[in-house]
Amino acid sequence: MQLDVSRAAALCASLLIVAILLPMCGGSETARTDQSRDGVGRIIRMVAHTYMPSDDMEVSEQNPFPRGAIRVLAKHWERQHPGVRIEFVRIPDQTAYVSWVRTQCTGGTVAEIIFWWPPGDELGLKEWVIPLDDYLDRPNRYVSGNERWRDLFLPVCLNPPWKARDGHDYFVPVDVFMTAVFYNKDIFAEAGIERLPETWDEFIDVQERIRQAGYEPFWCPEMRSHWPRSLFGQLLFDKEVFEQLDVLETNGRIEGEEAIRGASLGITGLHEPRFREYLRLMKEWSQYWKGGPSLGGSVESINLFLLGKLAMVWQGAWSLSQMEADPYVEFEFGLFAFPPMTKDTSPVASGRKPLINASPGTCYYVTQSAARNGLADLCADWLMFLTTPENCEELTQETTAIKIPPAVVGTKVAAVLEPIMTYDMSLLEDLIIPWGDGSPEALDNCNRLFELFLMDELDFEETVSRMEKWWEIGIEEAIRINQRLSDEQGRWDMAKW
């Protein structure tokens, strides 16, 4: 018995030693890379996210939109770079992606190229990713005549609004998120609408004709979101107002401090004729919304549209996937952009064609792993290869997959996307109609009062007067809370206002 115990103890000790030694034999990440620097086997790991190649390219009910373009492109690139291989990393779980990336970055094991949302302030601040400014200012060697890589991208994807707070560019965009009006072509034909609306008046007229044809024209937009305020911000506000606001940090976006400054100085506010026009025009439009105005969500709107019960719906272009994948859709649908508003509709109309909620979509970041392993140049080169117009087309417009608006200028797009690619992509100013800025309580109450106004429960003057009070409360609260902060915490220097 004594012997057995000794043997068991010896066995356990041996197993422990083996367990400790085995990982050491495997070598560290750095060691592996050092070795790879000298010879073959250099690996760029990439979290391709949207463009992750499918395991199976056969189209089936379970696999309706397989993707493989990035794998093909990687093979091409690898042939030009012997000894380097691109490995696509499958993320463990979509919902846990953020935590997963943070953990991997903290542990130093993150892939060389990852997907993240723009502008990547958090990743940049923690130095988990490297600035790409220098690379973006160099020519993309895969595009003849190109002087700066950054010139290849739509301005809306890679310009001041999307620079990180420290002024760096940390990402390379591949596609662009934007919203559009999806419309049922069959209903349009039945209502005798032969061409898409080109002005706001025509847009309202189209809805009237659809109603007269016995169909529901539109669905209430996401009232709690900034979508409608962003749309009308572009329809009504011109560049001059934007320039009056974007003064403290002229970076192409209205920061919180600038919004409060603008409101407290009276640059924006409820006295503004454009704000009043917003209320009036939204009320006019709301009579065509199925079920009337509501602060509720819009998930149902897609379902009703897919069922053919709604003529138009305002959705992100990303909803194409759901619509194209739906086997029960029995009608043809198309996309169009919101038309501009002319002075005939409103004396304060800007006349601009609104580009709403456009932002860089799938953005790739080069991480510290790449820098540490001496792969940063190769990563940038691979991303350059990926973002030539031809390769971007192959990637975003893949035959078997969902079509996504590309971020690269000159990329040919599928016919379904053509109407929305006519936006003026150089538009950088995104001025959202001000709305109880500064305090969540003021914002919430403005939303509720607006809802009551659209429902005819409050008249115009009462709505404005009650919103005005909340507006003042919001500004006062924002300033009060901010002024309690230290300079390090970001206290505003109101003397500069």
Partner 1 sequence: MVDAASSTKADIVRGIRACRFYVYLLPTFVLLGVFCFYPPILGFLGSFYEWNGANVKIWNGLDNFAKMAHDKVLIASIGNLIKLATFTLITSITVPLLAAELIFNLRSLRAKYWYRVLLVAPMVVPGMVTLLLWQFIYDPNVGLLNAVLGVFNVPAQRWLNDPHLALYCLMFMAFPFVGGITVLIYLAGLNSIGQEVFDAAKIDGARFWQRFFRIDVPLVMGQIKLLLILSIIGVLKGYGAQLILTDGGPGYSTMVPGLHMYHQAFEFDHLGYACALGLALFLVIITLTYLSMKIRKPETE
Minimum gap (Å) between residue 45 Cβ and partner 1 = 38
In this structure, are residues 303 and 166 in contact, taking their beta carbons and an 8 Å threshold?
no
Which of 452, 468, 472, 479 binds partner 1 (CB under 8 A)? It is 452
SS3 283: helix
Nearer to partner 1, 287 or 400 (CB): 287
Residues 235, 110: Cα–Cα separation, whole Å: 43
Residue 7, Cβ density class (10 Å: 0-12 exposed, 13-18 middle, ≥19 buried): exposed
Query: What is the nearest approach in angstroms of partner 1 to the Cβ of residue 289?
Result: 11
Helix/strand/coil (H/E/C) assignment for every residue in 406-444 = ECECCCCCCHHHHHHHHCCCCCCCCCCCCCCCCCHHHHH
Residue closer to partner 1 (CB basis): 56 or 441: 441
* CB 451, min distance to partner 1, A: 6
- Select the span of 51-59, 153-161, 292-300, 409-417 touching partner 1 (CB under 8 A): 292-300
**Minimum separation from the CB atom of position 311 to partner 1 (A):** 14
Q: Distance of CA 188 to CAs 195, 285, 333, 452, Å?
A: 9, 18, 10, 31
Q: Which residue from 312, 445, 464, 492 is in contact with partner 1, where contact means CB under 8 A?
A: 445
Cα–Cα distance for residue pair 494/393, rounded to 1 Å: 48
Among 159, 294, 342, 357, the residue binding partner 1 under the rule CB under 8 A is: 294
Q: Which stretch binds partner 1 (CB under 8 A): 8-16, 97-105, 372-380, 445-453?
A: 445-453
Of 54-62, 124-132, 182-190, 446-454, which part binds partner 1 (CB under 8 A)? 446-454
- Which of 296, 308, 389, 419 contacts partner 1 by CB under 8 A? 296
291 scored as a contact of partner 1 (CB under 8 A): yes
Which residue, 53 or 296, has its beta carbon nearer to partner 1? 296
CB atoms near residue 329 (< 10 Å): 16
Per CB under 8 A, which region of 77-85, 194-202, 227-235, 303-311 contacts partner 1? Answer: 303-311
User: How far apart (Å, rounded) are the C-alpha atoms in residues 172 and 150?
Assistant: 9
Cβ neighbours of 461 (radius 10 Å) = 8
Least gap, CB of 464 to partner 1 (angstroms) = 16
Interacting span for partner 1 (CB under 8 A) from 146-154, 187-195, 364-372, 441-449: 441-449
- CA–CA distances in Å: residue 137 to residues 84, 94, 150: 25, 33, 6
Half-sphere exposure of 52 (CA within 13 A, CB side): 15
Pick from 381, 393, 398, 451 the residue near partner 1 by CB under 8 A.
Answer: 451
- Site for partner 1, residues 400 to 439, rule: CB under 8 A: 439
Which residue number, 304 or 416, has a Cβ lying nearer to partner 1?
304
**Residue 300 binding partner 1, by CB under 8 A:** yes
Q: Output 57 or 481, the one with its CB closest to partner 1.
A: 481
Token pair recorded at residue 216: 């529901």
Which of 15, 57, 295, 494 contacts partner 1 by CB under 8 A? Answer: 295
CB of 290 to partner 1, least distance (A): 7
Which residue number, 127 or 330, has a Cβ lying nearer to partner 1? 330
**Burial (Cβ within 10 Å: 0-12, 13-18, ≥19) of residue 484:** exposed
Nearer to partner 1, 273 or 297 (CB): 297
| Widest Cα–Cα separation across the chain | 101
- Helix segments in 55-199, DSSP class H: 69-80, 97-107, 121-125, 133-137, 185-190
Judged by beta carbon, residue 21 or residue 455, the one nearer partner 1 is 455
Stretch that binds partner 1, among 60-68, 187-195, 288-296, 401-409 (CB under 8 A): 288-296
Size of interface with partner 1, in residues (CB under 8 A): 24
Q: Distance between CA atoms of 148 and 139, rounded to whole angstroms?
A: 4
Which residues lie below 8 Å from residue 27, measured CB to CB, with a gap of 6+? 35
Q: Which residue of 290, 353, 372, 412 would you call a contact of partner 1, by CB under 8 A?
A: 290
Beta bridge partners of 180: 315
The interaxial angle of helices 460-483 and 273-286, nearest 10 deg, is: 120
Q: Please identify, among the stretches 225-233, 274-282, 363-371, 440-448, the one whose residues bind partner 1 according to the rule CB under 8 A.
A: 440-448
Q: Which of 133, 326, 444, 472 binds partner 1 (CB under 8 A)?
A: 444
CB of residue 412 vs partner 1: minimum separation in angstroms?
A: 39
DSSP state of 318: G
Name the minimum Å distance from CB 445 to partner 1: 7
Question: Which residues are paired to 86 by β-bridges?
Answer: 44
Of 481 and 494, the one with the shorter C-beta distance to partner 1 is 481
In angstroms, rounded to a whole number, what is the distance separating the alpha carbons of residues 264 and 268?
Answer: 8
Torsion of CA 461, 466, 472, 478, to 10 degrees: -130
Task: Write the DSSP symbol of residue 243.
Answer: H
Q: Position of tokens 């649908």?
A: 333
In the shown chain, the binding pattern of residues 455 to 484 toward partner 1, with x for contact by CB under 8 A and - for none, equals: x-x-----------------------x--x
Q: How far is the CB of 438 from partner 1 (least distance, A)?
A: 12
Residues near partner 1 (CB under 8 A):
290-292, 294-296, 300, 303-304, 309, 439-441, 444-445, 448-449, 451-452, 455, 457, 481, 484-485
